[in-house]
Amino acid sequence: MKFSDAALDLLLGASCYGCGAPGATPCVACRELLVPTVQTVTQSLKVGVPVLTAMRYGSPVSTLIIAHKDRQAWQLCGVLGALLLAVLQALPPVDCLVPVPSTPQAERERGYDHTKALALWCGRRMRVPVRGLLSSGVGSDHAKLNANERMREVSGRFRAPPGHSQVILIDDVITTGATAAECVHTLRTAGYGVMGAGMIADAAL
């Protein structure tokens, strides 16, 4: 442990969000595991565009992503952003980056849109603007919806204003690809050219 890490630990009780070791986050050992190996994932077929990720979803990247999303560990934006940047550099140049939106409810609860923050971090370095073209409709306040309304919400969860830009879709993790597929469909229907999707980690089973 570096002296600065130890001092931080002593003062703040800080620990690594990746593995729990005392000191800076992520610790040196976790940082060494955060080397991007960009790959096109199997969900690409379902999504309808190439989906590239930096690594498989597993420790420590999984715990870092969760901490960034749900534990207000916003200082991890740069560490995770660097992984996403490696992915985006492997995709064709586009007019803008489009983050998958959080539901309004989730954003209210977190006070932070983690995916937009990652997109902005990368966009600044790539000199590509980030546009929140996708909005999620009524959100997932499922308790107030009847069965028919729920079906409709799942099949048309996102909206986008009409446009013709070339875009890349951004998210932190891909699991089944259902959300990404819906985002791509919404953007294409609105007239955009979706050149690919960039995610940090592939969590497909």
User: Angle formed by the axes of helices 61-70 and 77-88, to 10°?
Assistant: 120
Contact between 16 and Zn ion by CB under 5 A: the answer reads yes
Contact between 133 and Zn ion by CB under 5 A: the answer reads no
Contact between 27 and Zn ion by CB under 5 A: the answer reads yes
In terms of Cα–Cα distance, which of 200, 202, 198, 201 is closest to 89? 198
Contact between 30 and Zn ion by CB under 5 A: the answer reads yes
In this chain, which of 1, 19, 38, 77 binds Zn ion, going by CB under 5 A? 19
Q: Which residues pair with 130 in a beta bridge?
A: 97
Contact between 24 and Zn ion by CB under 5 A: the answer reads no
Nearer to Zn ion, 27 or 94 (CB): 27
CB of 61 to Zn ion, least distance (A): 11
In terms of Cα–Cα distance, which of 192, 163, 167 is closest to 99? 167
Contact 166, 195 (CB under 8 A): yes
Nearer to Zn ion, 16 or 200 (CB): 16
Nearer to Zn ion, 30 or 87 (CB): 30
Part in contact with Zn ion (CB under 5 A); list of ranges 17-25, 92-100, 146-154, 193-201: 17-25
Residues 82-101 as x/- pattern, contact with Zn ion by CB under 5 A: --------------------
Distance CA(153)–CA(166), nearest Å, equals 26
Distance CA(153)–CA(177), nearest Å, equals 17
Q: Write out the H or E segment, with its range, that includes residue 110.
A: helix 104-110
CB of 199 to Zn ion, least distance (A): 22
In this chain, which of 8, 18, 64, 196 binds Zn ion, going by CB under 5 A? 18
User: Angle formed by the axes of helices 77-88 and 114-126, to 10°?
Assistant: 60
Residues that bind Zn ion (CB under 5 A): 16, 18-19, 21, 27, 30
